[in-house]
A and B are shown apart, each in its own frame.
Chain A
Amino acid sequence: MTFILTFLLRRITQGVVIVSLVSFLIFTLLRVIPGDPVRMMLGPMATPAVMEQKAEELGLRDPITTQFGRYIENMMNGDLGESYLLGESGGAAPSAQNTGGGSVTDEQIVERTKTKSNRAKVLKLIADGLPYTMQLAGLGLLFTLLISLPLGIAGGLKPEKWQDRLAFFTGSFFISLPNFWLALVLILLISTKMNLLPAIGYKGFAYTILPAIVLAIELSPVMIRGLSVSIASNLSQGFVDGGILRGLPWSRIVWRHIIRNSSIPMLNLFGVQIGGLLLGGVFVVEYIFDFPGIGKLTIQAVLQRDFPIIQGVAIFAAAFLVFVNILVDLIATYIDRRLNY
């Protein structure tokens, strides 16, 4: 119990430091790379004076440290800010009261230059996209395991045999398929030509299957290879010969000893894969399939320099990765008590 408490305290403290560093790094980089969010908000015809006014309204002309301090303060209060470009979801237009119309005064015009808008809350955008991304990532991981476990285990148990070659060939084939290309080909064949599965957007669970297949094909090679190598190396360990000499059934040696010993590196690999899913594959796949998760949200935000969304997602992703790594280490310690992370 004491170990777990110390472990969690230490790792969570480390995690807070990591997330803070990532936040500051992302926050600073966004403000130094080319690309002005105000231009993206107002369009190409906006004059420099109007753009400057908008930039000041958004606080973008303050020193970066001041902006970051303000951001952290708001974040502590659970506010990740508002998107520069995306609006809140809205209902039907309310019926306005007839106030008589009439002309507009100069004071009113000046007041209106401080544009009122319906900018969407970043936290809500992330919360809205998260279930979709989790569904996609979850199904992708399930498909990955369905592909990788039989191939990887069989390949590891039969080094130099056809099972090993099949695992190697499948992994090599999958890894050579770029995910964006594979996504387009699958949409064209499976959805457009054969009408077997829907693909673009999201109107139900069926829309998750094709993108999940693409993710699985992207992730499987590392899992297949990792499994087969790990199992093959455990096969040559003394405990396998010992088990055989003790007369243990082969299935017991495999499941209780070889696979259990192979599971720790696989667990770490699995943790990294989840990070890879979040930061890489899911983003690209969601964008191409127009899947309404966090990945699509992020790619659009990057293209449009929507700083609050990029910052929010970066912090969320960093915190999630820290959490996954803590969890993986905790499980690894549970499997092998000799480990001390």
Chain B
Amino acid sequence: MTKTTRRTFLKGAATAGGIAAFGGTAPYFKKALAQGRKHITYLQTEPLTASWDPTSHTILGQIYFEHHTYGKLIQTPMRANDPEGIDYDLATGQKVVDEKTIEYTLRDDVTFHDGQKFGPEDVKATFEYASNPERPAGTWYPGQAEVEIVDSKTVRVRAADGSYPGSLFWFLAGFLPIMSADDIKNNSLAERPNGTGYFKFVSREGPTTRLVANADYHGGKPEIEEYISTFVGDANTRLLSLLSRESDLIERIEPEQYETLLNEDVTTVRTISTENKYLHFRNIAPFDDVRVRQAACHAIDRSLILEIMGPAGHASVGQISPVKFGYTDDIPNSPEYDPARCQELLAEAGYPNGEGMPQIDYLTSVGFYPKTKEYGEVITAMLQEQGFPVNFSVMEVAAWLESTFDLSRYALADTGWMTGSPEANLVVRPMWHTDGGILSDCLSEELDGLIDKQQSITDPVARKKSIQTELMPGLAKQMPSFGLFTSVLIHAHDPALKDLYIYPNGPMDLSRATWTS
């Protein structure tokens, strides 16, 4: 009789282990990577959609992608030291002709990726198509635009119904990818991206998209010859991928990951973004009373929220980001943390110490913005401390996206608003004008008047003054939404990668990026 002894067991286990270790895996026990220095692998946090048409979506990830493949009349890099600066791209100049009209002079040495020459008819088709309110991205623009082709190098843009000044495109043109008139006419935009950008589309395989350098780019062929972009949903996976050099560039670094990366051989980039984070009030009790909204703002100590945000937050005043046209930190009636004033306002509104106040449902997301759950809990605690009966709900992204636009359900909701231009109206109008009101409905005719007034001013200096001295104090008085802080975008990349520029709304300019040894 043969029994299994310790020796025979160990012999069998060692044999099995040996097969596993050497027979199966040994040939692969080395890096299967051969990272070239002429391409960039970028891990994106949002997938691209099924349509390549830039007007078919309002999704940030795809807007980032379009930055490489599509040119614009102008670029608005929103540099920290010059947030209103403009770089000319397909245009060589822009000027306000009259109250209704803005004029662009165009380059005549540009071709689309399919070889067609760029011309004024492309600008006309693009503006008229993209500003159509029936297009999903039409909401970025103030209304249907109309373009007059003056000559082969000049176009004039105005509102089709004269309802807004053409000068609104002063910054907005930096957000609009110029499409080919033929693609628009032939309804072929969705099939492949065909722009004038420094990278050309090659292929899309599952979540991976490949672009190559555009040798005919009017700014000169980029040194980076190939750009590979892959959607990777998990933040830790993206980080580990960069650390193991399977990717070169990643975005949306979490605050705690940033601290880790400071000790690693990677370059981190912090960019003050165009996005403010808000606490939106909805026009349901108790926030249908402006005094309660003001009281809630006085109950919240924003310095605590900034502590939680760490490197991902930047202190700001008011409702727009410091890189937006019209930003000011001098808003005298902007509410600060003041529990005593909070109690006064609550008493005036008939809720002394919060007594008799109906339950407040507060909604936030997890997995979309950094730390929303964490600072949401702190906001809840601060409001409860002053007597607000807050019920805090956290939802995953898809459920939250649906619920947050339902203004009748949650009295408080937390969102950000990232836009791709210094233009303040991209924030102000959809959120706080009664034409929009998509996240707060605590609005008024007075606020509409202030928004319309600044929009109608053609002189940029006078318009900026109107935003700073009338609109911002007006928003602070009405308080439909409380600006908590400005988001900071954190990217990380291989330290050998140089000369890339990250826009404050997230896209990257890789046209001059290089690899150093």
Please report A residues at the B interface, Cβ cutoff 8 Å: 33-37, 39-47, 49-50, 53-54, 82-104, 108-113, 115-120, 128, 142-143, 146, 149-151, 154, 157-158, 162-163, 184, 187-188, 191-192, 195-201, 203-207, 209, 244, 248-251, 254, 287-290, 292, 299-300, 303-305
Please report B residues at the A interface, Cβ cutoff 8 Å: 1-4, 6, 9, 12-13, 16-17, 19-20, 24-25, 28-33, 47-53, 56-60, 113-116, 119, 121-122, 124-125, 128-129, 132-140, 180-188, 190-194, 200-207, 230-234, 236-237, 240-241, 243-244, 246-247, 395-399, 401-403, 405, 430
Q: How far is the CA of A7 from the CA of B32 in the complex (A)?
A: 48
Q: How far is the CA of A82 from the CA of B193 in the complex (A)?
A: 21
Given A41-B57, A43-B58, A101-B125, A300:B47 Cβ within 8 A: yes
Given A187-B244, A201-B246, A146:B47 Cβ within 8 A: no
The answer to whether A34 touches B395, judged by C-beta atoms less than 8 angstroms apart, is yes
Q: Out of A40, A109, A199, A249, which one reaches B2, CB within 8 Å? A: A249
Q: How far is the CA of A41 from the CA of B398 in the complex (A)?
A: 11
* Shortest Cβ distance from residue B232 to the other chain A in the assembled complex, whole angstroms: 5
The answer to whether A98 touches B116, judged by C-beta atoms less than 8 angstroms apart, is yes
* Shortest Cβ distance from residue A48 to the other chain B in the assembled complex, whole angstroms: 8
User: Considering only CB atoms, which chain B residue lies closest to A149 in the complex?
Assistant: B16
Task: Write out the residue numbers on chain B whose beta carbons fall within 8 Å of the beta carbon of A244.
Answer: 1
Q: How far is the CA of A171 from the CA of B191 in the complex (A)?
A: 52
* Shortest Cβ distance from residue B447 to the other chain A in the assembled complex, whole angstroms: 20
User: Considering only CB atoms, which chain A residue lies closest to B56 in the complex?
Assistant: A115
User: Considering only CB atoms, which chain A residue lies closest to B149 in the complex?
Assistant: A103
* Shortest Cβ distance from residue A289 to the other chain B in the assembled complex, whole angstroms: 7
* Shortest Cβ distance from residue A261 to the other chain B in the assembled complex, whole angstroms: 17
The answer to whether B192 touches A90, judged by C-beta atoms less than 8 angstroms apart, is yes
With A99-B182, A142-B24, A209-B25 given, name 17 new contacts (CB 8 A).
Answer: A40-B398, A42-B56, A47-B138, A93-B200, A103-B121, A103-B128, A104-B128, A117-B53, A146-B20, A195-B244, A200-B246, A204-B28, A209-B28, A251-B2, A288-B237, A290-B237, A292-B207
Q: How far is the CA of A192 from the CA of B241 in the complex (A)?
A: 8
Task: Write out the residue numbers on chain A whose beta carbons fall within 8 Å of the beta carbon of B202.
Answer: 91-92
Q: How far is the CA of A74 from the CA of B32 in the complex (A)?
A: 43
Q: Out of A96, A99, A288, which one reaches B114, CB within 8 Å? A: A96
The answer to whether A192 touches B244, judged by C-beta atoms less than 8 angstroms apart, is yes
Task: Write out the residue numbers on chain B whose beta carbons fall within 8 Å of the beta carbon of A205.
Answer: 28
The answer to whether B129 touches A118, judged by C-beta atoms less than 8 angstroms apart, is no
The answer to whether A98 touches B182, judged by C-beta atoms less than 8 angstroms apart, is yes
Q: Out of B48, B56, B115, which one reaches A95, CB within 8 Å? A: B115
The answer to whether B206 touches A35, judged by C-beta atoms less than 8 angstroms apart, is no
The answer to whether B50 touches A85, judged by C-beta atoms less than 8 angstroms apart, is yes
The answer to whether B201 touches A111, judged by C-beta atoms less than 8 angstroms apart, is no
Q: How far is the CA of A86 from the CA of B205 in the complex (A)?
A: 10
Q: How far is the CA of A47 from the CA of B139 in the complex (A)?
A: 7
| CB pairs A–B below 8 angstroms (27 shown) | A36-B401, A42-B136, A43-B60, A43-B136, A46-B58, A47-B139, A50-B139, A53-B134, A87-B50, A88-B204, A93-B113, A93-B192, A93-B193, A93-B201, A96-B182, A110-B134, A116-B191, A119-B50, A151-B13, A163-B6, A192-B243, A195-B244, A198-B246, A204-B28, A207-B32, A248-B1, A249-B2
Task: Write out the residue numbers on chain B whose beta carbons fall within 8 Å of the beta carbon of A287.
Answer: 233-234, 237
Task: Write out the residue numbers on chain B whose beta carbons fall within 8 Å of the beta carbon of A299.
Answer: 233
The answer to whether B192 touches A112, judged by C-beta atoms less than 8 angstroms apart, is no
The answer to whether A47 touches B205, judged by C-beta atoms less than 8 angstroms apart, is no
The answer to whether A42 touches B206, judged by C-beta atoms less than 8 angstroms apart, is no
The answer to whether B397 touches A303, judged by C-beta atoms less than 8 angstroms apart, is yes
